[in-house]
A and B are shown apart, each in its own frame.
Chain A
C-alpha cells in the first residue's frame, strides 16, 4: 500500500471533521457536556459549562455504503468506465445511499438552577443534512439508454433525495427526579435556510411492442421536487449579498419549525444504567421562497401516426407539434410556489451500561462523581463501563439502524476513554475511539470512528472525527 500524505491530509481536512448522525461515542459519555445534545436526560453533574463559541462542537459525516472513492479513482490501471459500470451502474442497488451531515455549534452553554436537581442548557447550531439514494434505474437509463430493452420498466421512483441547511436554536432542561431517574427535554426552533426534497416519486418509462408502429413508448410519471430558499440565495448571489441573505435566513428570516428532544436515564441498580432518547421530533414549515416542480401523468406514443382514410381532410396539420402538445398535455410539467411541510430526520437512541471495577478512590476518600445535582447520595464513579447502544434514524426508505458495543475507562477525573464497535449499513468493521480530557476547567474531547479505514482511507465508506472545547465547573453549590 502506498502511503500518500497528500490524500491523507485532504481526507483529514475534509472528511475527518465529519461525524455520523449516529453519535455512538458521544452518547452517554456524560463527562462531555455535548452528551446532553444526544440525550437531554443524561446524568449530568456540571454546575455550569460553556462551549467555546464555534469550536465547542464541529461534527458531521459523509458516506456511501455502496461505493468508495478508491473503488472509482484508485490508480489501478482499470478503465474508469468499466469501474463505474461494474461498481455503480450495475453494482449498486436503489437502497444504497450517499449521505452527509454537518453540525457546527455556534453556542452551547448550561447552568444548574437554584434548584440543584434542574440543569438548563441552550444554544444554537447550524446543521446541513442530505441523503440521496442511488437512482439505479435513472443511472442505467443514462448510461445505457432504453434501446433493445423491450418491456423493461425503468422505475422513476428511484429518485429519492432530501437535504436541508438549518439553524437550530435550542433550550433544554435536565431534571434529576430521584437517585435512579433523570429525565430531560429540549425544545428546538428551526430556522430553515435552504431545503430540497424529492422523495415521493413513482412511475416508469417502458418500451413495448407497438399496436400500429414498431414500438410504443409509455411514460407514467408522478414526480415532484420541492425547494425553499434557493430563489433568495440566487438573487443574493447576483447582487453580491449572499452572506447577508444567509444570515437573515439563519436568524428566523427563512422557514420556521418546531421540534423537541426527549430522553431519560434510569438506574436499574447501582451499577446498571438504561438510557434512551428521541431527537428532532419536529417539522419545518416552508413558505415565502418555495419553488416546486412536478411532472404528473401518463402518455403513450408510437410517434406520428397518420391514418390516411381517417384524416383525409386534415392531412396538412402539424403532426409533430400536435404530438408534442399532446404529450405535454398528458404529462404536464408544472411549477408552483405552494408552502409545504417537512419532518426532521428523527433519531432514537437507547443504551444499557454496566459499571464495574474498583470505584475511583476509597470510601473514606471517595473519588465519586461530584454530585452538583443536589443529591444527598453521591454516586460512585466506577473506573470501567461496558454496554450496548442502539441507534435508529428515520430515512426516506425506512428506518436505518446501528448497533454499538462499547467499553469505557476513566482515569480519575482527568481522563476518560471510550472504545466502540459499531455495525451498520456502512460497515461491519467500525471501531471507534473517544477521549475526554479535563485540564482544570478546560474540557477537551476528541473522537474518531471507523479507525480501520485509516489503513486506506480512500477505500472507506466513511470516516469521521470530532473535536470540541468547553469550560466546565463542577463546583459544589
Chain B
C-alpha cells in the first residue's frame, strides 16, 4: 500500500513542481462593469386635420395615458443615463402647439416638453432630451406613471392642407443605458 501511496504522491509532486502559472488576480471581477444601451420606440400619436377642424376652441386634444414602462424595476433600479427622442411632423394647415407632461401617481406634473410648429410646409422637428448626469433628473422618469398629451390649434377650424392625409404626428423613442453589473 505504501508503494501506491508513494507513487501517487510522487505524481502529484511532479505535477505541482512542473505546473506554473502567470499570477492571476481574480479580484478584477469586481471591476467588471456591464452597461448596455437599449433603444425602442415609446409612443406615437396621430391627430388628423379633420379631427382638429371638428373641435371648436383652441385646445383640440388633451389626454392622459397610463405609462408604467419607466416605473418597472428592471428600468427604474438600473437606469444610468439616456435620452428620449421626439419627432414632430405637421402636415396640416394650422400652426400647432404640443405639450407633453410627465405625471406621477398622484397626477403631479414632474416635467414637460413644449413644441410649437408652423403650418405646413415645415421640416420635421426633432428634439433629443437627455436624462442623467448633468442633464434632466432620472427621477422624473423613475416616478412617471402617466403621460399627458395636450395639443392646441393656433389656426382656424376650416382650412385644409393640400397635402394628402394631413395630420399632426408625434413620434418618440427612448435610448437608455442600464447597469447589468
Contact = CB atoms under 8 A, between A and B. Distances in A.
Interface of A: 1-5, 7-9, 11-12, 16, 69-70, 72-76, 79-81, 84, 141-148, 207, 210, 212-217, 301-309, 312, 315-316, 318-321, 435, 437, 439, 442, 444, 446, 448, 454-459, 465, 467, 469
Given A73-B24, A142-B34, A16 B15 contact: yes
Interface residues of B, number: 55
Given A12-B12, A457-B20, A215 B40 contact: yes
Interface in B1-43: 3-4, 7-8, 11-12, 15-16, 18-26, 28-29, 31-34, 36-43
B59 interface: no
Contacts of A76: 22
A333 B16 CA distance: 50
Contacts of B51: 308-309, 312
A467 B8 contact: yes
A459 B22 contact: yes
Nearest to A318: B66
A315 B148 CA distance: 12
Nearest to B126: A214
B22 A79 contact: no
B110 interface: no
Most buried by B among A144, A212, A213: A213
Given A12-B19, A73-B24, A303 B11 contact: no
B40 A301 contact: yes
Contact of A305 (B16, B19, B32, B44): B44
B63 A74 contact: no
Given A306-B63, A454-B15, 9 more contacts: A7-B23, A12-B12, A69-B24, A146-B38, A212-B44, A309-B51, A319-B43, A442-B4, A458-B24
A168 B15 CA distance: 31
B45 interface: yes
B47 A308 contact: yes
B41 A303 contact: yes
A439 B51 CA distance: 99
B40 A217 contact: yes
B41 A8 contact: no
Chain A at the B interface: SS class: mixed
B36 A80 contact: no
Contacts of A148: 37, 39, 175
A465 B15 contact: yes
Contact of A8 (B16, B40, B50): B16
A298 B58 CA distance: 42
Given A145-B39, A147-B175, A319-B65, A444 B4 contact: yes
Nearest to B26: A73
Given A8-B16, A444-B4, A80 B171 contact: no
A62 to B, nearest CB: 16
A16 B42 CA distance: 53
B68 interface: yes
B85 A306 contact: no
B22 A75 contact: yes
B61 interface: yes
A214 B171 contact: yes
Contacts of A457: 19-21
Given A142-B180, A303-B40, A321-B66, A80 B31 contact: yes
A147 B38 CA distance: 5
A301 B4 contact: no
B7 A146 contact: no
B28 A8 contact: no
B37 A144 contact: yes
A81 B26 contact: no
B67 interface: yes
Contacts of B46: 212, 306-309
B15 A81 contact: no
B173 interface: yes
A306 B28 CA distance: 49
B140 interface: no
A388 to B, nearest CB: 27
A214 B11 contact: no
Given A215-B39, A303-B41, A309-B50, A75 B23 contact: yes
Contacts of B24: 4, 7, 69-70, 73-75, 458
Contacts of B171: 210, 212-214
B108 interface: no
Interface string B51-81: 1000000000101011111000000000000
- The residue in A207, A215, A458, A469 that gathers the most chain B C-beta atoms within 10 A of its C-beta is A215
B15 A448 contact: yes
Contacts of A304: 42-44, 65, 67
B48 interface: yes
B44 to A, nearest CB: 4
A215 B173 contact: yes
Contacts of A303: 40-44, 172-173
A307 B171 CA distance: 12
Contacts of B31: 79-81
A62 B139 CA distance: 46
B21 A8 contact: yes
B87 interface: yes
A332 to B, nearest CB: 19
B168 to A, nearest CB: 9
B129 to A, nearest CB: 14
Contacts of B177: 145
Interface centre among B16, B23, B67 (most CB of A within 10 A): B23
A435 B11 CA distance: 10
A7 B21 contact: yes
B16 A12 contact: yes
B40 to A, nearest CB: 5
Contacts of B25: 73-75
Given A302-B44, A312-B51, A2 B22 contact: yes
Interface string B77-93: 00000000101000000
